[in-house]
Amino acid sequence: MKNPILLISCAVLMLCSTALQAQQIRCSTNDHEQQLQQANPKRQQQRQNLEQRVRQMLSAGQRSTPNITIPVVVHVLYNGTAQSISDAQIQSQIDVLNEDFNRLNADTTNTPALWKPIGGNAGITFCLAQTDPSGAPTNGIERRQTTVNSFNTNDNIKSFATGGLDAWDPTQYFNIWVGNLGNFLLGYAEFPTTALSNTYGVVIHYNYFGRDGSSNAPFNKGRTATHEVGHCFGLYHIWGDDGGSCTGSDQVADTPPQGGEYYGCPSYPQTDNCSPTAPGAMFMNYMDYTDDACMNLFTQGQATRVLATFNGSPYSVLQNSTACGTANLFNDDAQLLSIQSPSGNLCTGNVNPVVTIRNAGADTITAVDIRYFVDNNAPQLYNWTGTLLPLTSTQVSLPAISTISGPHTFSAVCTQPNGQADPNPSNDSAGVSFNVVSTGNALPYAEGFEGAFPPTGTQLNNPDNLTTFEQTTAAFRTGTKSMYINNYDYDSNGQVDELVLPNLDLTSVSNPRLAFWLAYRLYTNPTSSPNYSDTLTVQVSPDCGQTWTEVYRKFGTALVTTPSPSYTLNAYVPVASHWRRDSVDLSAYANLDNVVVKLRHITDYENNLYIDDINIDGAALTTALAENPQGQLSVSPNPARDRVRIDLSPMKGLVQLQVYDLSGRLIDNRSGLTPVQVFELEIESYSSGSYIGMCTGSGEVFRFSFVKD
């Protein structure tokens, strides 16, 4: 007779083991995806666009060429030294990825005989990068001791500002972050879309990364990373995440239907409500939740989908990266890395150069000669001394030089590192263009974006080196071209892009004004999602860019120029009636002869914005009214003493109302008015005289005028 106490004890142990596994969160990719979609309203559509592209490629029999090599950087975040896993453990994870994605894993022998013929080889090789983004040697691992006790799925681990480490260029490196994810979470991934993302990659708990070392059983064979990287290349959970309804799909034909995830190490076969007969569920697939030792295959269908997703996504450029190649260092190699000053427009010819030099060699540099000059003038020599360790840089302020008004080129060359001839002169020099403007260009200023872009005399600031203002022929107010920024594909928020206009002399007119045409539509419904909008501002500098004052800001429905609806899920391209002319009062700067104006755009996941026909002169108001013959609004009483009533009913959409005196000075500015109302404008504080104004909304501009007694 069997011992009942022993049987009960065994049962309790089995239940405890099952409960322990259940509280381990094997994968939080779907939860993370929901967070990304809440932050970016376009993300769901971008994922659908990529899925459609992948299906088209698969139906056409297309797939990327196998034998792809992808450079990897592993960012290790540790709060205590035990969390800073060894280089050997990191390399073991790279080995696991290469085995699993190439069907070279030793445990293929554990694949059931029925499924062995469909075991898939994706033909992707991962290597730890040998060259970092600056071209210097690396082992593909960077480490940071952080004060953060544990990270979660909010991507703080992917930002230096929040205790993590920033991604390396995702078009050159596949990023993996390793850190403490708390007591239960093993890892998560980011699905690809049609838009590049600086957070693309996988995050793995340090206790479940690689095999052996500090990795903890039963997740100590590196399969957490295999699973998450599978998500990064378009694979879904094998059961289709349908809650056991058998209606979901992992979009792969040769994986059987499955009622839900499996844990532990089940015996084969396992049947369920979706696969009620043998061979049943493919619980040993890498995209299930079983223990590492029980996973052993991707299918051919999964491998084909991996390659199609890679080829269809913007990350296909990873196969062209040279970061797996070894960087060769010279002994004494001084590099002129960049020039911080001069740049852009200067108000005076007194130039204070600032450059950055870098030790690109293997030996410490203690002295460098820096020669610098303007145009083709005789160079000046500055002897820098200090301590510059290999692959580090320092900023150097050089003695001032003077030049005259006009366009110039500043050049700098570093030579004689440690008193030796530089063995690599290819990186010794750099140059920038700048312009000394003692007096700005005379008015009027006009730019219609019909010629070269950026226009002559303007400056384009693009700090993230990604999407920015560009020329387009897709829409225009006049001519055949305009300027726009492709917010529809700008998968970011808070990024700033600027168009800086030439220095201007505003003293020639008494009431200078900036006017420009714009067209904009939201992506999200402002009623249900009011927290999203790109922003357009205008800033003015009286001192050649040293200080700036904001004189115009619009976002949300105030920026929208279209009739209802104010949003579209498609990439926005305006029609003729969508354009609206906005006007900005610059009379506060009318006494200055060297003023800089810039248009500043801030992203927030929304839609395309177009700008055309920028004008700065003293007649912007008159020109705006003359070019918009939609009609005259009814005003009563007229003349008036205390208030006038303006009938807005001929207009559509939200209305902006502006009132000017006859000199063109802006007297009143109201926005967000509804066109169904008769708006009462209080004029008691106005001086006696005549006033003109315009109401803009949904691409329309209507005039009105009245007399104050």
Reduce the DSSP state of residue 10 to 3 states and report it: helix
Whose structure tokens read 């008004």?
A: 405
pLDDT of residue 630: 67
Q: Which phi and psi (to 5°) does residue 578 adopt?
A: -85, -15
Candidates 320, 29, 54, 68; CA nearest to 194 is 54
Tell me the C-alpha distance between 685 and 659, whole Å: 13
Which of 13-17, 411-415, 494-498, 586-590 is predicted with the least confidence, judged by mean pLDDT?
Answer: 13-17
Superfamily of domain 334-438 in CATH is: Immunoglobulins (2.60.40.10)
324-381 per-position pLDDT tens digit: 988 788 999 999 999 999 988 888 899 999 999 999 998 999 999 999 999 999 999 9
Band of pLDDT at residue 699, cut at 50, 70 and 90: low
| Rg (alpha carbons) of the chain, rounded to whole number | 32
Where b means 16+ CB within 10 Å and e means fewer, 446-478 reads ebbbbeebbbebbbeeeeeeebbbeebeebbbe
- Measured CA to CA in angstroms, residue 371 lies from 414, 431, 554 at distances of 6, 12, 47
112-150 per-position pLDDT tens digit: 999 999 999 999 999 999 999 988 889 999 999 999 999
Mean per-residue pLDDT of the chain: 90
Report, as an integer, the average pLDDT of 524-533: 82
Q: What count of residues does the chain have?
A: 709
Tell me the C-alpha distance between 307 and 517, whole Å: 45
Catalytic residue among 33, 51, 142, 228: 228
pTM of the model: 0.70
Beta pairing class for 678-682 and 689-697: unpaired
Q: What is the domain class of 635-708 according to CATH?
A: mainly beta
Is 228 a residue of the active site? yes
Tell me the C-alpha distance between 623 and 615, whole Å: 10
pLDDT of residue 664: 60
Chain centroid to Cα 129, Å, comes to 23
Band of pLDDT at residue 309, cut at 50, 70 and 90: very high
Report, as an integer, the average pLDDT of 396-421: 95
CATH of domain 445-619: 2.60.120.200
Superfamily of domain 23-314 in CATH is: Collagenase (Catalytic Domain) (3.40.390.10)
Tell me the C-alpha distance between 367 and 520, whole Å: 54
The domain locations on the chain are 23-314, 334-438, 445-619, 635-708
162-217 per-position pLDDT tens digit: 999 999 999 999 999 999 999 999 999 999 999 999 999 999 999 999 997 889 99
pLDDT of residue 619: 55
- Evaluate whether 23-314 and 445-619 have a shared fold: no
Long-range residue pairs from 110-117, CB within 8 A, at least 24 positions apart, any chain: 110/284, 110/294, 110/296, 111/284, 111/296, 111/297, 112/268, 112/269, 112/279, 112/284, 114/279, 115/279, 115/282, 115/297, 115/299
